[in-house]
Structure 1
Amino acid sequence: MAAMSSGVCDFGEGCEEKAIYYLKDCVKQTFHHLKHLNSNSKGIDLPKSYLILCRAGVNVITLAQLDKKICQEHRDALGLYWKRSKRSCVHPFHGKSKTKPDRGITPVLSRELWLRLQLSVPIGEAVCRTCVSKHKADLGLGEQVVEEIKDRVEQLTMSTSASLPSPNLRDCTEVNDVNNNVNPAEETDVVSHVSQTNELDQDIMMSDSESLHLSQSTAASNWSDMQKSLREKYNDAMQMLTNGHMECLRSQVSQPLQDLQYSTRAYYVRHAKAAFEYICDIIAPGQSQQLLDEVINSYKGSAIFHQDSMTDTVTEAYKKATDHTTRTQILSLIASKYSKSILLRMIEGLTI
């Protein structure tokens, strides 16, 4: 793990410890740690960065959060040296049950508790067999949560792999870790010198063949973008617009909304609302809610209307009437049922 030269820890309110790590450098897998807690989810191997964020109460994990800084104390307390807060079952279904816990909260259980009950329960906390069974029956969301976690882990892993330090810089860091007596100012100079030397070497070594390879790589990247699904393109666009703060869309609606389960429909509504608010805030900074309200009102004004037999009769009577007073009296019969814009569309030539 690469050490930082300075910084303030982003974990723990008022933490005064010096942050010496970036979260993106916490790449160690946690399989054996979670196995010891009996908290593994089948087919999911979490990187330490994901585990730290979950245990810190971060329920919408984005790539931007990998740039957070963390001190040694919080890295240990939220990572591989984490300890359970209590020995008894922490599941909200437990109540006064005396059943003893025999396992830990898995990544899937923790995620489902947040999605269904808005409860943030750290991965690894104690839970009993009875509560797990009730949870699966009442709160389980099936494979969609498993796939969501896998997708997020894959994104985090790809991002951290792309940001690993160069071999020379890593060697330099390891030397500095061994030699604890190196002056911080000298260490900064060494790292800066190595970085400048690497950049100079890269400039000298760039050849025509490498330029051609870069061009081919760019073309391959463009082709890869063309092969992406509409959902993947949408996620890429929203990640760029929100600097990684928008949760990725896990799936698209493939059946009528009214046929979806309540929890599934609620998920799509929450995601759409968040996307609308982000876009409105870009168009009207600081006034996203006001703009969103205006947009909603505009839809209401242009909504499709359905005329009943009474409305048809009143409309025909209005058209046949020639006296202004009579027309006003006839129109008053339906004026309260429709907005001004809809009345103007229903009755040609109407002026209000």
Structure 2
Amino acid sequence: MAQHAKYSKVNPQWEEFVRSQPTLSNFRTSDDHIIQRRAAFQKIAAEGPQYRPIPGDSEVTIRNFTVPARDGYQIPVRSYFPKQSSSSTCPLFVYYHGGGWTFGDIETGDDNCRLLCLHNQLCVLNIDYRLAPKHVFPTGINDAYDAFKWAAQNAHSISADPAKGFLVGGVSAGGNMAGVIAYLARDDKIDPSITGLLLSIPCCLMPQAFDRLPQWKDELLSIELNKHSDMLDVRSYNQLIQDILKAPPEDPKISFLLNPDHTKLPLRAYFQIAGLDPIRDEALLFARLLREHSGSKTLVHLYDGLPHGFWRFQELPAARSWAGDLYEGTQFLLNGGQDGLVVKGYGQPDAQSNAGRDVSKVA
């Protein structure tokens, strides 16, 4: 909606950070391939400060093993269980790392999985799905869903109890997979059912498929407003989908908003959405569809004027609070609480906190 256009105003802290990083500044006028860009982002993040204390093996029980994919491939997975848990079982969270379907592995999500496990007393299963370009669509999502189904059927083997909570989530491409799986699990009547979705900067609808949903044209403005965003620009995003992943944009197994039925989806969902992200509005639309069609409660943290993946750079005040927001959102999925849209301003002069507001009125 047009009211969200104000979140496309670049946050001063991001502008200051870009000025301090010549590599990021140069991207604004370059035609570098998305692979080169992502490698540069990872290098900048790795060389910057690392603020989050990560739980070690003395606090979290770690197991590495494999589960079978439909084609016989053994999918590497890693489970996490809090050693100081007051119970022999914990709620289950199936986690998918980000990386644009082309980067990342089981180590990419390791920090988040350890933190979620310890701080939220969760049993977490981290999925190392196969990546493009070696493994093009739909291999990655098939791995993700096969591992999810294994978890639903074998939760007891990793000391998880889905009756206490069955969460699915991830970051960026991982958030896309979690959204796709919500529909697949519903249609396949997977038991136990998913109780909550965690969607951090999720991809919900490929740009090339926007014309298939003309009824929502007026709600999907960020793809144009933020098309030159620093971390994810639309040109390279299209390049990724068409040339590297080779995913048909009209396939609901990647553009999950194309599903015609949005009923009977999980009853709680937590979103982290970046205001300067081209894919901002599709995530806000999905939150609305969950509320209106499935009666879901949604908590949305919207980061005003910040781009896709900003949290990688721990120099930013907003990045340092991102993990805390993640814990809060996960607690909402497990225990309920106040839903709504919370705008995170972080120095943006016209940003206001909307904690506790009815998100259906603003998103």
TM category (shorter chain) comes to: under 0.3
Structure 1 or 2: more strand by fraction: 2
| Length-normalised TM-score, structure 1 | 0.26
Larger radius of gyration: 1
| Length-normalised TM-score, structure 2 | 0.25
